[in-house]
Structure 1
Amino acid sequence: MNIIEETIEVAVPVRTAYNQWTQYKSFPRFMSTVKRVEQIRPNLTNWVIGFGPVRREFAAEIVEQIPDSHVVWRSLGGRSGHQGEVSFRTTEPDRTEISVRIRVKQHGAADLFSRFTHRVVRSELAHFKEFIEGLGQEGGAWRGSIRNGHVQPMEPEPPRSRVAHWPVG
């Protein structure tokens, strides 16, 4: 297996970064190689990725997902499978480190494929940074957990303050 690792820091809180990341259907808006993502179930997605005229479709199972911490997945079926993990870590109150680690099955031109995939992951993380920092907030959220491929109940939303703030003046 080849291992690709890439890390980037984004200028949003960890909750915002994590919440946006879990909106898989939005990936084509900012990732140039992701053409379509369909969420079949909370723990199952179908992806269409492509570069130039080459297209590849695969299903991915989310085997573990802990809000504001990490998402672990594995591709299902296919000739060139992979496993991956994205983790989120607060570096400052409004900054988050995002680390991606992908293990790709080796085949034919493994070294060339690995270098290409590493560049793509780096580029796509930079696109995510630009996208989330430009928005300043997430476009949705899924706050459930997944352990061993099984969906756990969603965590309750924190209570919102009901204190009225009146303009001074």
Structure 2
Amino acid sequence: MSTLELHVDVGVPIDTAWEALHRVEHYPRFVEGVRDAHTEAGGRAHLNIEAGGRAREVEAEVSDRGEHVMEWLTTGAPELAGSFAFQPVDENTTRIQARLEYDPETVRENFGGPKGFAQTNAIERLVRSDLEHFKEYLERA
């Protein structure tokens, strides 16, 4: 498994950012490739995504762990796991730490794309871009 950790500081209070992360139906506005998303019973999220020219449905178990930490784990292929941790920088600024655990070969098999180091770079660029889009989404609201 590979692990990627990135963070972004957003110009909103922690509660505003935290509430926005829980609005799964808004994910298509800031997560690349997500075409539709909604919550389901039992703390699950269902996402219709398009990546590498392939349409897929992905289900994930989502749970809050401790103060301002959300963890998620896909329930089928591809096997992915991650978390978002929110920390107040000051009254109106929040640091969002994103963590993604994945097997590069499994991601390539399910979504296509380059192999090896190029794929790792592509995944990092995608996650960084999604964090920046989330920042823009939050700061525009």
For Structure 1 versus Structure 2, the TM-score category normalised by the shorter chain is 0.7 to 0.9
Structure 1 residues 5-154: aligned runs within 5 Å? 5-41=5-41, 43-51=43-51, 53-62=53-62, 64-66=63-65, 69-78=68-77, 80-107=78-105, 109-135=115-141
Instruction: Look up the SS of the partner of 2:120 in the other structure.
Output: helix
- Alpha-carbon distance in structure 1 between the residues aligned to 2:56 and 2:121: 18
Are the structure 2 counterparts of residues 4 and 128 from structure 1 closer, same or farther at C-alpha, using a change threshold of 3 Å? same
Instruction: Look up the SS of the partner of 2:104 in the other structure.
Output: coil
Q: Report deviation, 1:59.
A: 0.7
Q: Report deviation, 1:68.
A: 5.4
Sequence identity, in percent?
26
Q: Which entry has the higher C-alpha Rg, 1 or 2?
A: 1
- Structure 1 counterpart of 2:112: none
Are the structure 2 counterparts of residues 53 and 75 from structure 1 closer, same or farther at C-alpha, using a change threshold of 3 Å? same
Letter in 2 for 1:3: T
User: TM-score by structure 1 length?
Assistant: 0.72
CA RMSD of aligned residues (A): 1.8
Higher helix share: 2
Unpaired segments ≥5 residues, structure 1: 136-169
The answer to whether the Cα contact below 8 Å between 1:12 and 1:95 also exists between their aligned partners in 2 is yes
Could you list the runs of 4 or more consecutive aligned residues of structure 1 that deviate by over 4 angstroms after TM superposition?
A: none
- Alpha-carbon distance in structure 1 between the residues aligned to 2:72 and 2:26: 18
Unpaired segments ≥5 residues, structure 2: 109-114
User: TM-score by structure 2 length?
Assistant: 0.85
The answer to whether the Cα contact below 8 Å between 1:17 and 1:96 also exists between their aligned partners in 2 is yes
